[in-house]
Amino acid sequence: MVNPRFCRLCGKEKKESDFLNSKILKNSKFFESFIDVCLDCRRDIESKIADEYRVVRKKHLTRSPKRASYLRCKWKLTIFDYEKMLKEQGGGCAICGKKDDKDFLHIDHDHKTGKIRVLLCCQCNSGLGFFKDSAEMLTKASRYLIEKV
């Protein structure tokens, strides 16, 4: 075999032609993801991602047809990014853990920088808003509840 390489996913020894040209990959935002991955494994990964995206997209379009464009325009998020965030935080609100089946979770963000923090249910998101995202105010409120209730 001329210039044998090993795929880091399947572990098989393959020819150089079984891998994507590294010049093409270097211009891709997925360069790190696919370096040393054979074309067969790459096709499998892309197929799984496409299938997941179709399921996620159908879920969002069924529940709220305008949701995908709202996420994209207001937050620069795809519905796939939203679902990934949701999965990473256990499928529910980042504060109380409530899984909101009827509606989507709200996107909590820093009002000064606009940076997205986490996904929150309506009540937790409103609560932070009422306390103006102030940790000091929330601590005082917490102390009050502990002492008075």
pLDDT, mean of residues 78-103: 86
Read off the pLDDT of residues 10-36 as tens digits, 9 standing for 90 and up: 889 988 888 776 555 555 555 555 677
Q: What's the rounded mean pLDDT across residues 114-118?
A: 92
Between 4-8, 30-34, 109-113, the lowest mean confidence (pLDDT) is in 30-34
Copy the structure tokens of residue 91: 């499928």
DSSP H helices in the chain: 22-26, 31-34, 39-63, 67-75, 79-88, 122-130, 135-148
CA distances from 121 to 1, 17, 127 (A): 57, 50, 10
Q: Count CB atoms within 10 A of the CB of residue 83.
A: 19
